[in-house]
């Protein structure tokens, strides 16, 4: 394993307790802000000292409370990309790149030239960070980080400082850079799409702990926890009670639903992604009579807010938690019977059994 | 000006320069120390700022207590033949004590404003703490260090209350421009007082103007305007 982490840290009321391992791969720490993902990264880099636990990289111990080992960040060789890049404003591009090099003056010049070329910074050698665009700043920060020959790379929301149109291009550049890096990479993000595109595995974090850690495909297709479902963008979630082997009751929706697989005994919630809801057809399993509470148009889809049940008075049951959000592609919407529906009207939808997310 | 005794000007400049050298190093050092402190920061900060808010005569009074022959420390100093009271060195101590908080507070403010990620980034890059201070922290707080030091210098130039308490007002030895103005007014020599006032005003104004230009030059193009 490239990186082994098992640490505890108390910060005021917040308690961090995380354990995970990273091979020579890319792991995303995915979670809402305040879940402890950045603190975890800072503990690994040695910026913050954990209260307890162990951090090891390639078998070398960086932190071990039991053995009273706590390497200085200088001795850890963790490449850290900061949210705002933290370029030294008083140094030129060249000087920034050279800042962390562990080389003699002659090899130094060669490596600077190499990094300048590799990160397309030709002509900017003598510029100061403030004279660079956001994308150029990120490239300098990456060049500086890699010039220090890190054993692992830690990325703290590297795109949060950029405009959305710049992100895509830089993300692809970053992927190319990381592909050439042999060690482990930990990537902190609150953006599920970004985490999916950039990483192999995803650790969903919630309330200072790793909620679930798995291959990214698995996390998205079958999140097993509430936090996993929420962070991967599941919009419809209800408390659930097991009623039979494949039979469950969705408390908030007031619906009895049939699952495609055996329901785990510790089921707490059930969820369904907004675009997995279907208009009622021949299949009558999990068909639900609903009333339309609201129709919202977005650039490429229509979002229909539904209130399950026959109850006539929408206003009285208009509790957002108990509603269903149904997302329909606009092209499909136009061909549907309900495209001229009005708020308050009844409609029948199906929650397909295979699409139900059974959550702990 | 030809018939004027210019010793107060020379003494003022000598005292202010020496005091500024002392406050520069002490201010930067103590500011970088208190910024890192976890406990007792408020109290230490209060003590270090006190000379700024106390009447200078009170500061001088405390210094006199400390360096006078009746104190333990004063006794020790006189036993090794060091005299502070009524000497120009005493004037330096008085000026340094009063101008110190200006340097200390400006530098501390700049350190608190400095993005902590810069230091963290430098650490993860393997740069030693000493090098981080001189190559990353110091250059980025330099404009504030300059501003604080120049303010401290002008304050030291104008010091009166603490100086007269500790160093006295001995012409040719401890009489600075400020005390010379006082003496001239006491003696009814208004023309002399006017001359010294003009001198001290020009020096102070010049210092501040030069500081502003210098700071502007130091600030571009490395920072956002």
DSSP string, A316-341: HH--GGG-EEEEEEHHHHHHSGGGG-
Q: Which of A77, A102, A128 sits opposite B221 (nearest CB)?
A: A128
> Cα(A45)–Cα(A30) distance, rounded to whole angstroms?
18
Tens of pLDDT, residues B143-162:
889 889 999 999 999 899 99
Closest chain B residue to A98 measured between Cα atoms? Answer: B125
Cβ of A75 and B127 within 8 Å?
A: no
Cβ of B128 and A74 within 8 Å?
A: yes
Q: Which residue has the tokens 């208004």?
A: B190
The CATH code of domain B7-219 reads 1.10.3720.10
| Higher per-residue pLDDT: B2 or A58 | A58
Cβ of A80 and B121 within 8 Å?
A: yes
Cβ of A45 and B124 within 8 Å?
A: yes
CA contacts within 13 A on the Cβ side of A253? 29
Q: Give percent of chain B with pLDDT exceeding 90.
A: 76
Q: At what angle do helices B88-113 and B41-53 cross, to 10 degrees?
A: 130
List of chain B residues whose C-beta atoms are within 8 Å of the C-beta of residue A47:
120, 123-124
List of chain B residues whose C-beta atoms are within 8 Å of the C-beta of residue A72:
123
Closest chain B residue to A132 measured between Cα atoms? Answer: B222
> Cα(A81)–Cα(A78) distance, rounded to whole angstroms?
10
Confidence band for B18, pLDDT divided at 50, 70 and 90: very high
Which site among B116, B118, B124 would you substitute to test the A interface, given the most A Cβ atoms closer than 10 Å to its Cβ?
B124
- Mean predicted confidence (pLDDT) in B29-38: 90
pLDDT of B225 strictly over 60: no
Which of the residues in chain A have pLDDT under 50?
Answer: 312-318
Q: Which of B118, B125, B222 sits opposite A128 (nearest CB)?
A: B222
For residue A307, what is the enclosing H or E element? strand A301-308
List of chain A residues whose C-beta atoms are within 8 Å of the C-beta of residue B125:
99-100, 144-145, 148
Cβ of A99 and B221 within 8 Å?
A: no
Q: Which of B117, B126, B139 sits opposite A86 (nearest CB)?
A: B117
Identify the pLDDT of residue A282.
Answer: 67
List of chain B residues whose C-beta atoms are within 8 Å of the C-beta of residue A80:
120-121, 124
Confidence band for B101, pLDDT divided at 50, 70 and 90: very high
| Cα radius of gyration rounded to whole Å, chain A | 25
For chain B, the helix, strand and coil percentages under 3-state DSSP, each to the nearest 5: 75, 0, 25
Q: Which of A73, A88, A90 sits opposite B123 (nearest CB)?
A: A73
Cβ of A82 and B120 within 8 Å?
A: yes
Closest residue by Cα to residue A108 from B83, A194, B16, A100: A100
CA distances from A148 to A90, A109, B86 (A): 19, 14, 57
Identify the pLDDT of residue B219.
Answer: 63
Q: Which residue has the tokens 């120009």?
A: B88
Mean pLDDT taken over chain B: 90
Identify the pLDDT of residue B220.
Answer: 59
Identify the pLDDT of residue A319.
Answer: 53
Q: Which of A76, A84, A90 sits opposite B140 (nearest CB)?
A: A90
Q: Which of B120, B127, B223 sits opposite A89 (nearest CB)?
A: B223
pLDDT of B32 strictly over 70: yes
Chain B closest-CA separation from residue A180 CA (Å): 20
List of chain A residues whose C-beta atoms are within 8 Å of the C-beta of residue B221:
128, 130-131
3-state SS assignment for residue A153: strand
Chain B closest-CA separation from residue A76 CA (Å): 7
Cβ of A90 and B136 within 8 Å?
A: yes
Chain A closest-CA separation from residue B122 CA (Å): 7
Tens of pLDDT, residues A208-244:
999 889 999 998 888 889 988 988 889 999 999 999 9
Eight-class DSSP state of A354: G
Closest residue by Cα to residue A187 from A173, A168, A170, A203: A203
Closest chain A residue to B135 measured between Cα atoms? Answer: A90
Q: In chain A, which residues touch B (CB < 8 A)?
A: 42, 45-47, 72-80, 82-84, 86, 88-90, 99-100, 102, 128, 130-131, 144-145, 148
């Amino acid at each position: 394993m490239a990186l082994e982490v098992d640490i505890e840290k108390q910060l005021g009321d917040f308690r961090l307790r995380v354990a995970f391992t990273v091979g020579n791969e890319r792991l995303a720490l995915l979670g809402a802000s305040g879940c402890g993902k950045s603190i975890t990264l800072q503990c690994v880099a040695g910026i913050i000292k954990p209260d307890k636990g162990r951090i090891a990289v390639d078998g070398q111990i960086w932190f071990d409370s039991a053995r009273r080992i706590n390497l200085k960040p200088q001795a850890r060789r963790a490449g850290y990309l900061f949210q705002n890049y933290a370029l030294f404003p008083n140094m030129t591009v060249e000087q920034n790149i050279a800042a962390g090099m562990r080389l003699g003056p002659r090899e130094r010049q060669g490596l600077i030239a190499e990094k300048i070329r590799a990160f397309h910074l030709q002509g900017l050698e003598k510029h100061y960070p403030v004279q660079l665009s956001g994308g150029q700043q990120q490239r300098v920060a990456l060049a500086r980080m890699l010039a220090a020959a890190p054993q692992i790379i830690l990325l703290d929301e590297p795109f949060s400082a950029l405009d959305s149109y710049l992100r895509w291009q830089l993300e692809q550049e970053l992927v190319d850079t990381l592909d050439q890096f042999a060690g482990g990479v930990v990537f902190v993000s609150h953006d599920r799409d970004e985490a999916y595109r950039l990483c192999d595995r995803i650790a969903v974090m919630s309330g200072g702990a790793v909620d679930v850690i798995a291959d990214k495909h698995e996390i998205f297709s079958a999140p097993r926890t509430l936090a996993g479902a929420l962070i991967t963008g599941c919009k419809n979630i209800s408390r659930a009670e097991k009623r039979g082997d494949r039979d469950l009751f969705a408390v908030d929706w007031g619906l009895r639903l049939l699952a495609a697989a055996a329901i785990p005994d510790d089921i707490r919630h059930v969820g369904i992604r907004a675009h997995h809801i279907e208009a009622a057809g021949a299949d009558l399993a999990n068909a639900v009579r609903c009333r339309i509470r609201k129709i919202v148009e977005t650039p490429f889809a229509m979002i229909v807010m539904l209130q399950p049940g026959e109850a006539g008075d929408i206003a009285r049951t208009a509790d957002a938690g108990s509603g269903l959000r149904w997302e329909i592609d606009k092209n499909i919407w136009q061909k549907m019977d309900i495209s001229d529906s009005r708020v308050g009207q009844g409609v029948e939808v199906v929650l397909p059994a295979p699409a139900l997310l059974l959550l702990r | 000006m030809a018939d004027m005794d210019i010793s107060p000007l020379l003494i003022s400049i000598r005292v202010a320069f020496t005091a500024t050298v002392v406050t520069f190093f002490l201010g930067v050092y103590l500011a970088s120390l208190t910024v890192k402190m976890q406990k007792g920061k408020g109290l230490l900060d209060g003590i270090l700022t006190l000379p700024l808010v106390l009447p200078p005569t009170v500061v001088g009074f405390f210094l006199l207590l400390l360096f006078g022959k009746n104190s333990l420390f004063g006794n020790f100093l006189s036993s090794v033949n060091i005299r502070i009271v009524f000497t120009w060195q005493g004037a330096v101590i008085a000026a340094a004590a009063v101008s110190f908080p200006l340097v200390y507070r400006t530098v501390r403010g700049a350190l608190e404003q400095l993005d902590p990620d810069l230091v963290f980034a430098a650490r993860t890059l393997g740069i030693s703490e000493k090098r981080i201070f001189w190559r990353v922290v110091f250059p980025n707080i330099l404009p504030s260090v300059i501003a604080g030091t120049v303010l401290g210098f002008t304050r030291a130039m104008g010091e009166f209350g603490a100086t007269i308490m500790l160093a006295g007002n001995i012409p040719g030895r401890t009489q600075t421009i400020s005390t010379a103005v006082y003496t001239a007014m006491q003696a009814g020599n208004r023309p002399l007082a006017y001359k010294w006032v003009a001198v001290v005003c020009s020096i102070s104004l010049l210092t501040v103007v030069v500081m502003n230009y210098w700071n502007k030059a130091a600030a571009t193009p490395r920072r956002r305007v």
